[in-house]
Amino acid sequence: MNMSQPAPAAVADGQPEPDFGPMQNFPLGEPAQMLVESIELESLVHHGGAVAHDRPLEEVHAVFGEKRVDFLALVRDGRVTGVCARGSLGFLLGSRYGFALNARSPAHMAQVERPLIFRRTAPLRLILEQSLGRHGDEFYEDVVLVDEELRLIGLIPVEVLAQLQTRLVAAQLRELQRQHETLQRRNVELFQTGHALRQAEALSAGLFASNALGVALLDSRGKVQAGNRRLEELLRLGDRREDRPNLALLVAADERARFYEMLEACELGRLTPGAREFHLELAGPGPRLFRISTGWIRETSQVCACLDDITEQRAMERHLQRQEKQQTLDTLAGGIAHELNNKLTPVLGFAQLLAEGAGAREGAFAECIVKSSLEAAQIIRQLLQLSKPAAGQPEEFELGALVREALLVLKFQLREARVEARLEAAPEPVRVRADPAQIKQVIINLVLNAIHATERAAAPEVVLMLARQCAEAVLTVRDNGTGIAPEIRERIFDPFFTTKSPDRGTGLGLSISSGIARQHGGDLSCASPPGAGAVFTLRLPALAAAAPAPREGADQPRARESAPGIAGRRRVLVVEDEEVVRRFLQEALRASFPCEVDCAAGGREGLRLVSQADYDLVVSDIRMPEMTGPEFYLKLREVRPEMAKQFVFVTGFAGGQKLEEEIARWQVPVVAKPFTIRRLADVCAPFLTGAAGGG
């Protein structure tokens, strides 16, 4: 965000007022300070107009007309995401074909490029400086005020802020004028006693020492000649205050030439305004990112440098960017999973049906198709779980199998880094009860850390050891990398602490992993023997060993061979928009049960059929055009509540945790695509076998 310097103002006698720089760095006088403290930000709000970020532009246009404002806040899930401008909306809809092209586009298409959004706790001076320091059309944009949860409080017009700025400047000028008159009266005495010099020195020392930024006076080669207390804290000088360092030598080697160029340009008066960012190699915390602003002091031939550590700020910005990218990935992965699972379902199902009457050679081919389809479905589930892990309830699983899945996901990274990874597991299975998605993420984080740690090893190696110790499942991840220095070993689980460069991590991975371990009643610890790399140990409560569940596949007996007594022919309705999947469901149900199967290509057709006939079972897809599966189910509960009790969903991807939780509350069985005929028959058997009747 650009911070502009205010233009010199005219005083009463017509002489130009000196330029004091940004208001943020110039101390307010008492009248102006009292005025700032008396103003509540919410009292500046003009209106609270807002629209959903995805609302069609033609509807947003109507809202602008109703509210008679130039800007509206954009919200998503109740939180402000940006600002929509009437001007941008007019540009999109006002051309000859603009309305036809953009009328249904989402509201965020008309959002301003760099909106100013502040929490209610933001300093008023900061809001004034950033809003009135804008250029061009951006200057006229409203400022958005939100609460601590980013929920809209209202919009503040720039005219209100400009008027307030005028009042503050006037108060400041009056205060400056008063100070000027006071100084004039004292000048006579100061000429005779030298008192002015001592006061100036004391004032300068106070401002220098109490500055929130680290301030350093440098010579032309970067040697620190003087610095304030904040500078000592930032550079971790400790008790070595008399040992003034050369700031240029602390700058990372690949950035040092650029730092010297900045000092030279500053000395020659050719330095353009603005701050520059450099990495400083500090003792203890390692590399840190600093924003450095410099200026040349002509009287003393020194460079004044103001330093601010922005490492955590940049890490948080990257984290937020990754969150936005992750949301896009979640949506993309869900859609791909749904489409691929839809295509795999008939491949797997028809292969099983073909295997029934096929010869030995054709049957073997069909079994290969079934096996490959199941493996493809497993890969899709792993990718979907990795991109958007289910918040899911804890479940029992074998930890060794989960470790192997995690190594499979990291196969590419291991191969690219030429790291040999092996798992040494006890022969007996180690079972735990936890959220598998979260535990897999912990394993992936630990292995990725080990890969990064072994970059300089001649023969990089990562060894994972899994064993059961008393009532605990113990997973150890050992590498032969550089290890962890003793002085930072206690801090590696702190949020945002990292020794990696900013492009390699934010310092959140180990902190999150430790939190996950504690949530599951376990622990994550670290050891680093001298010269032996690092060892991370994950401990989780272990369960008693259980017999493995039979593998689902085409080699198991079919439902019709194991179903209990069948009483007469039943009638089933299949609602599925994919024709091939619809035909497979029809054939699979006929092959598993003595039933008649009617089909509908969508929810509307399904409602028409249930109004004409009774069904013992309704099988419906979840994601369908026009009317979704849940919408069809809710409508069925209204018109035929008895049939809604005999309902099964099938889906390639439900579409989100909220919908999954809602379906769980309905207590409707869900069969995930792709599925085997046996899986479908097991779920449908309670409705189509025994003495229970439908309709």
Per-position b or e across 125-149, b if 16+ CB within 10 A of its CB = bebbbbbbbbeeebeebbbbbbeee
- Residue 420 CB neighbours (<10 A): 12
Q: Is residue 400 a contact partner of residue 466, using CB atoms and an 8 Å limit?
A: yes
CA 203, 208, 213 angle in degrees (round to 5)?
145
* Residue 548 DSSP one-character state: P
**For the purposes of burial, counting CB atoms within 10 Å of the CB of 170, is it exposed (0-12), middle (13-18) or buried (19 or more)?**
middle
Using CA atoms, how far apart are residues 301 and 494, in angstroms rounded to an integer?
43
Residue 17: closest CA among 125, 139, 174:
174
pLDDT at 637: 93
- Output the CA torsion sign for 405, 407, 413, 418: negative
CATH architecture, range 23-168: Roll (3.10)
| Rg over CA atoms, the chain | 34
**What are the contacts of 460-463 at 24+ separation with CB within 8 A?**
460/417, 460/418, 460/419, 460/420, 461/419, 461/420, 461/421, 462/414, 462/419, 462/420, 462/421, 462/422, 463/421, 463/422, 463/424
pLDDT at 650: 92
The DSSP H or E segment spanning 664 is helix 657-666
Domains of the chain, by residue range, sit at 23-168, 204-309, 398-556, 564-688
Those residues with Cβ within 8 angstroms of residue 227's Cβ, 6 or more apart along the chain or in another chain: 214, 215, 216, 217, 235, 244
pLDDT at 275: 86
Q: Is residue 151 a contact partner of residue 74, using CB atoms and an 8 Å limit?
A: no
564-688: CATH class: alpha beta
Strand order, beta sheet including 50-52: 50-52, 71-76, 79-85
- Residue 470 CB neighbours (<10 A): 6
Using CA atoms, how far apart are residues 415 and 570, in angstroms rounded to an integer?
55
- 106 phi/psi in degrees, rounded to 5: -70, 155
Using CA atoms, how far apart are residues 225 and 465, in angstroms rounded to an integer?
55
Strand partners, 278: 290
- Output the CA torsion sign for 380, 384, 387, 393: negative
pLDDT at 556: 41
Residues present in the chain in total: 695
Residues of the chain with pLDDT under 50: 1-25, 502-504, 506-507, 547, 549-567, 691-695
Which tens digits make up the pLDDT trace of 377-420? 666 665 665 555 555 568 899 999 999 988 888 887 888 888 88
- 496 phi/psi in degrees, rounded to 5: 70, 5
What's domain 204-309's superfamily in CATH?
PAS domain (3.30.450.20)
Q: Going by CATH, does the domain composed of 398-556 fall within 3.30.565.10?
A: yes
- AA letter at 219: D
pTM: 0.37
- Output the CA torsion sign for 592, 593, 596, 600: negative
